[in-house]
Structure 1
């Protein structure tokens, strides 16, 4: 009898493209993963090194200072008052996403279904698999919001939770968070809103599901994107006090805790908005440049996203586009099928590399365009 065999990690499938690039170019520019390359603020690094918090076990739920900093951030940035008691820490956000179905199913074993956006971060579906749950995708409406009316009533009855992601990865769409919260309440299904790209919302101000009340909803946040702090693994979740209390209790038993020095540095990062504005300007500038040169190279317009720092580029075949771009520009991007079958006719371009690397890709594409070849 064969047990669970993990599928290949999506980004490991790009190694062949990287090898092909080095046959044609002297370097690879990796635009496949949303890993920050720009530095976090110096004050954050200093706090990480000087907190004296490394000697003892940190609180799993987060120190009072950690949770109060998150509370101040919600109030300052989104005009939402979230008590520190309604906030708890995560070791980054990916572990939270991947473990959540298992933890929630212990609370409601009569339900077994995870609902998630049809084109989305792979960990929503993988988390369902790891938790022994059914994964059921929800399609998008033309405006980019999830089509909640398309959810089969039988799936709604079995739903353990619904994931929303706004701004979305990879598409950059903005979801209707008010509608998601209302749907969850009307069906008795907790809604978890992944808002890790909220600081990079372009078409409007950043919006959190907590604007629409706390009942039955949780907002999930991360310092990885906002503060270029991905290696530190710091995040938090906030909202319905009953759900927060349950999760922080069970997570404490599992020994899930953000290291003390990281918690101290996170307080400094959350209290500073200036570095976020600098990063917003960097990403917007890089996306604008890449959208322009990709449009010229492919002959098809590439739209700017409503949020996030990814370009979601239409393609007849995502793998073919990624291969041609690798050969032409030495750049690795993600075929859209990594984010669900509905994404197969796209690629995702992450503009995370430093300006000189983005310009290198642009110049290689300009050269290819001047030579009349795609």
Structure 2
């Protein structure tokens, strides 16, 4: 077996299962799941109809780079959404079976590790998980807290994860200016989650300019996970390709983005997304995927075309989330330290003092006393230099219906008022 498998951390939901293994929820309440970021809004019916009507296409092998019609639809969507002059559907867009799979395989494809030595000259106190031995000189930079696929993919690519903390002191955004030069010199890939999961912050043009300048200086790939980009409240977040175009970098040099229909269109089970950006990078990644053999089924592609072409259902989706966030802020704002995110569907909530600031104690109380499943923030983060930036926070996903949100609020008010 691959010896690096032993270095993988348990997934957050596995940790939650262990935490709650001996807990029993109050039987007076039905379960409300607010810990998993799985959209519960109704998916667009016309997309499901298209999927059903084309099931006979399952008798054909899909090509690795997908249907041209899908790539062209995605290219046009990118141009409209991010004010891009032109996106080449043949060279700058690649459909994928969901961004989770694509992010993982992308790391395997682009990391060029050096087996001859370990990254002993990188100061672990600056952002490396001190419990792990750095496997190679190749470094993958990522936020902390973070989507765990970034870390797992880096470890299995024999690269060193480097964590940049998102803390209250920096408005829950990464302070890239604090990353040491010696880390940048070994960085091959940097992941940005924009909007961020779980903190809900978004990148400004100034933020993008800094990272693009660093990418040019140290020649690393800049990868932006933008799966939550369409779940905003006022102004749409600036995407990486949009930042490139603003700076006149129309070739998107060393820059790629990941997008999905899971959150945008409430279609997590369709496993439909894409990667777009630098044509040279995508050319090599396409070759990797050809050997990997992971192609989107044709019915999924045809349904995806309709989803990317329609914005009405996305507007309705945003309206539902906006209603729920307003409801939570109005009803719980005086009992919990609720901070309205810039985008996304998560609350990143500081644990109330009565629970000693312990996120594990708080999520256990939510589960046992009012049957609400939330996610301990420390499970989404890594301890670096004695500090876990997720400790003392809880992630709550506003994925349930408005009615269930009202019920959850009522229960939490009861819990906090006891």
The C-alpha deviation readout for 1:287-337, integer Å capped at 9, x for no partner, is 2223344434xx343111011100000122211221222234321111111
Flag structure 1 segments of 5+ consecutive residues without an equivalent. none
Answer yes or no: is 1:37 the counterpart of 2:84. Answer: no
Q: Following TM superposition, by how much is the alpha carbon of 1:231 offset from its aligned partner in structure 2, in angstroms?
A: 0.5
Q: Which residue of 1 aligns with 2:365?
A: 324
**8 Å CA contact retained: 1:291, 1:311:** no
The C-alpha deviation readout for 1:152-185, integer Å capped at 9, x for no partner, is 2222121120011110000001122232222212
Answer yes or no: is 1:147 the counterpart of 2:152. Answer: no
- SS at 2:290's partner residue? helix
Answer yes or no: is 1:84 the counterpart of 2:85. Answer: no
CA distance in 2, matches of 1:108, 1:292: 54
Q: Which residue of 2 aligns with 1:305?
A: 341
Q: Which residue of 1 aligns with 2:141?
A: 115
Q: Which residue of 1 aligns with 2:233?
A: 202
**8 Å CA contact retained: 1:200, 1:206:** no
Q: Following TM superposition, by how much is the alpha carbon of 1:355 offset from its aligned partner in structure 2, in angstroms?
A: 2.2
Q: Which residue of 2 aligns with 1:166?
A: 194
- For normalisation by structure 1, the TM-score amounts to 0.92
Flag structure 2 segments of 5+ consecutive residues without an equivalent. 116-135, 352-356, 382-387
**8 Å CA contact retained: 1:284, 1:309:** no
Equivalent positions of 1:180-259 (< 5 A) are 180-202=211-233, 204-211=235-242, 212=244, 213=249, 214-259=252-297
Q: Which residue of 2 aligns with 1:314?
A: 350
CA distance in 2, matches of 1:49, 1:232: 12
Answer yes or no: is 1:137 the counterpart of 2:142. Answer: no
Q: Report the more deviating stretch, 42-51 or 196-205.
A: 196-205
**8 Å CA contact retained: 2:262, 2:271:** yes
1:25–1:177 distance in 2 versus 1, CA, 3 Å: farther
Q: Which residue of 1 aligns with 2:14?
A: 12
Q: Which residue of 1 aligns with 2:53?
A: 50
Aligned-CA RMSD value: 2.2
- SS at 1:228's partner residue? coil
CA distance in 2, matches of 1:108, 1:167: 33
Stretches (4+) displaced over 6 A: 107-110
Answer yes or no: is 1:261 the counterpart of 2:299. Answer: yes
CA distance in 1, matches of 2:114, 2:236: 35
- SS at 1:60's partner residue? coil
- For normalisation by structure 2, the TM-score amounts to 0.83
The C-alpha deviation readout for 1:245-268, integer Å capped at 9, x for no partner, is 111111111101111111111000
